Chains A and B, each alone.
Chain A
Amino acid sequence: MASSQRNPRGFPAPPLFIGLAGLGAAFFLLPLAGLLVRTPWGSAWQLLTSPEALTALRLSLLASLSATAIALIVGVPLAWIFARIAFPGRAVLRALTVLPMVLPPVVGGVALLAAFGRRGLVGTWLEQAFGIHIPFTTAGAILAESFVAMPFLVITVEAGLRGMDLRFEDAARTLGARRWTVLWRVTLPLVRPSLVAGAVLCWARALGEFGATITFAGNFPGRTQTMPLAVYLALETNPDAAIVLSLVLLAVSLAVLIGLRDRWLGAS
């Protein structure tokens, strides 16, 4: 009786099956436990405020927030186009735009080099016309993070725009609102939850970006060495520092998960 209450609709699972599920759960929990157990709590604050760690922290914040800003500026219009305008090739363009979500980041980095590198598609021209050089600079790190993280914003905002009642825009127009007014005062406020969720997801992904950044921007402390890169490097020289930095990234991820829990964990 008790078990049928716990599992009212399903068949009674074989014990082995439940055991495998437990193994799966442990697989996720053990690394987290390991991180917590291995954390040198006594020297954690000191490690975190060391010049190297602080530099990486500061750079990570700057780069991830800049990447999020870029994503908002060009990603929201892109999401709007995908949601509202039917044009030939939309499906293909949309697929290519979200490709970085499944693309190995290192491939993204190589692709960015091919486009913006010294001898790249746009890079040559940028260098000759403006003397702008993007790879292996902070701007490069920001670009790499934008490339990998923006799709999260685009698909989240697009879903929000698709779910919105378009008649609110009609109402605004009959009240004399021009296009920009409709966009600023009606459309964007109405999809605010999606904008916030998309921006947070995008930021979290940018903060954790490793592969594309190290490929396209390198690993220069103070310029392109963001936290994930610092963690990787510290692992060989100063494992304690690596663990403390990892803990910070873990805390941020957890905060994002909890902050957006209604989106993923349901109302319960």
Chain B
Amino acid sequence: MSLEARIQASVSGFELDLQIAVGAGELVAVLGPNGSGKTSVLRVLAGLMPLDAGRVTLDGVVLDDPPTGVRVAPEHRPIGMVFQDYLLFPHLSVLENVAFGLRSRGTRRAAALTLASQWLERVGLEGYADRRPGSLSGGQAQRVALARALVTSPALLLMDEPMAALDASTRVELRRELRRQLESFDGVRLVVTHDPVEAMAMADRLIILEQGRVLQSGSPAEVAQRPRSRYVADLVGVNLYRGRARETVIALTGGGSLTVAEAADGEVFAVVHPRTVALYRTRPDGTPRNVWEGRASDLDLEGDRVRVRLEGSPSIVAEVTPAAVRDLGLDRGDPVWISVKATEINVYPS
């Protein structure tokens, strides 16, 4: 089972122009900022939006092919879709919501309800069959939406921002739970999100979208290690520099320079993971090749770590423990010494 899509469509404000191929059992996340066309990609694949040009095939079956006029209606596509705020039908019970797809596709009521209750059990909500969707928590609604989408055994599962409607405090646990539920589904899975952490935590592969085009695609590790643009670097949280390398020194385009372990030549990308950036109150002595002074412009607590944005030449983001911030007495605007080991800098040609 696999999905192959070449999509050209006009969305309000820009053109969607991209190619996506997802293999059976693969979970691919389409990651991009708001307005990058992510949701439109899902709507095209679901048949809710027409293609201007391109072609969509699922398991060899053509779903969209504008030149030959093929456009399979949404109700005839073997798909399941989980919408951003789940869109459970408020006038139907939880069980009827899950049974909706079966009933619409002609399954008899009794059989549909039986299968739907099995699915409710599978997502751990067997006691909620008669409830109205309005009385569910965000996490429960998400699982009902997932059961509703999967009950018809679709070949392709589309999920639009599955975590966006959830409380931040429960998100990590619910993400793990969702991941577990998704693992038992062997069709093609495509998740759209604007949250890089979510994408990297859930997906086998990332497709990064901006302005309707694919910026980069690859495994989460690959993308984090080798982001191909400032935007992607910001997104996945690493420091990305561009510069000209001569031997082991890279003169950075934005000012400053970095000394690296391996010699290179020409235009390069240099990636520094925030975790490998060390901070000192006074100029450190010792072996680090790269030492410079900066000024803390922003401190963000993220989980058990603090991301410190530092202005300097170059500017950089460091990730340290709250204890380290305390020991340094670091606050917004304070000067601080920055050091990065040459061996911690990843260099690759741009």
Complex Cα gap A207–B46 (Å)? 48
Say yes or no: is B307 at the interface (Cβ < 8 Å to chain A). Answer: no
Q: Is A170 in contact with B101, judged by CB distance below 8 angstroms? A: no
Of A5-13, A186-194, A231-239, the stretch lying at the interface with chain B is A186-194
Q: Is B75 in contact with A176, judged by CB distance below 8 angstroms? A: yes
Would A174 and B80 be within 8 Å (CB), given that A168-B89, A190-B90, A192-B91 are in contact? yes
Q: B48's closest neighbor in chain A, by CB? A: A170
**Residue numbers in A under 8 Å from B89 (CB-CB):** 168, 171-172, 185-186, 189-190
Q: Which of B194-252 contact A (CB under 8 A)?
A: none
Say yes or no: is B281 at the interface (Cβ < 8 Å to chain A). Answer: no
**Residue numbers in B under 8 Å from A172 (CB-CB):** 89, 100, 104
Say yes or no: is A173 at the interface (Cβ < 8 Å to chain B). Answer: yes
Residue among B92, B100, B148 with the most chain A CB within 10 A? B100
Q: Is A174 in contact with B90, judged by CB distance below 8 angstroms? A: no
Complex Cα gap A186–B91 (Å)? 8
Chain B nearest CB from A129 CB (Å) reads 40
Complex Cα gap A71–B122 (Å)? 46
**Residue numbers in B under 8 Å from A165 (CB-CB):** 87
Would A171 and B81 be within 8 Å (CB), given that A190-B90, A192-B91 are in contact? yes
**Residue numbers in B under 8 Å from A175 (CB-CB):** 75, 80, 100-101, 104, 148-149, 152
Residue among B46, B89, B90, B105 with the most chain A CB within 10 A? B89
Complex Cα gap A192–B91 (Å)? 10
Q: Is B75 in contact with A177, judged by CB distance below 8 angstroms? A: yes
Q: Is A173 in contact with B73, judged by CB distance below 8 angstroms? A: yes
Q: A190's closest neighbor in chain B, by CB? A: B91
**Residue numbers in A under 8 Å from B77 (CB-CB):** 174
Would A174 and B81 be within 8 Å (CB), given that A168-B89, A192-B91 are in contact? yes
Q: Which of B34-49 contact A (CB under 8 A)?
A: 43, 46-48
Q: Is A174 in contact with B100, judged by CB distance below 8 angstroms? A: no
Say yes or no: is A46 at the interface (Cβ < 8 Å to chain B). Answer: no
Say yes or no: is B335 at the interface (Cβ < 8 Å to chain A). Answer: no
Among B46, B91, B92, contact of A174 (Cβ-Cβ < 8 Å): B46
Q: Is B91 in contact with A181, judged by CB distance below 8 angstroms? A: no
Q: Is A174 in contact with B105, judged by CB distance below 8 angstroms? A: no
Complex Cα gap A167–B74 (Å)? 13
Say yes or no: is B5 at the interface (Cβ < 8 Å to chain A). Answer: no
Chain A nearest CB from B119 CB (Å) reads 13
Count residues on chain A whose CB falls below 8 Å from chain B CBs. Answer: 18
Complex Cα gap A115–B163 (Å)? 59
Chain B nearest CB from A193 CB (Å) reads 11
Complex Cα gap A165–B85 (Å)? 12
Say yes or no: is B31 at the interface (Cβ < 8 Å to chain A). Answer: no
**Residue numbers in A under 8 Å from B104 (CB-CB):** 172, 175-178, 181, 185
Among A170, A186, A189, A192, contact of B74 (Cβ-Cβ < 8 Å): A170
Residue among B48, B74, B77, B83 with the most chain A CB within 10 A? B74
Q: Is A176 in contact with B105, judged by CB distance below 8 angstroms? A: yes
Say yes or no: is B79 at the interface (Cβ < 8 Å to chain A). Answer: yes
**Residue numbers in A under 8 Å from B87 (CB-CB):** 165, 167-168, 170-171
Q: Which of B44-93 contact A (CB under 8 A)?
A: 46-48, 73-77, 79-81, 83, 87, 89-92
Chain B nearest CB from A163 CB (Å) reads 14
Complex Cα gap A98–B240 (Å)? 63
Complex Cα gap A181–B104 (Å)? 7
Chain B nearest CB from A70 CB (Å) reads 26
**Residue numbers in B under 8 Å from A170 (CB-CB):** 43, 46, 48, 74, 83, 87
Mark interface residues in A143-157 (1 if CB within 8 Å of B CB, else 0). 000000000000000
**Residue numbers in A under 8 Å from B92 (CB-CB):** 189
Q: Which of A171-229 contact B (CB under 8 A)?
A: 171-178, 181, 185-186, 189-190, 192
Kindly list 9 other residue pairs between chains A and B, CB separation below 8 angstroms, not including A167-B83, A189-B91: A170-B43, A170-B74, A173-B75, A174-B46, A175-B149, A177-B104, A186-B89, A189-B89, A192-B91
8 smallest beta-carbon distances between A and B, as pairs: A175-B101, A177-B104, A173-B74, A176-B104, A174-B81, A176-B105, A189-B91, A171-B87
Give me 23 A-to-B residue pairs in the complex whose CB atoms sit less than 8 angstroms apart, sorted by A's number. A168-B89, A170-B43, A170-B48, A170-B74, A170-B87, A171-B87, A172-B89, A173-B48, A173-B74, A174-B47, A174-B74, A174-B80, A174-B149, A175-B100, A175-B152, A176-B76, A177-B100, A177-B104, A181-B104, A186-B89, A189-B89, A189-B91, A190-B89
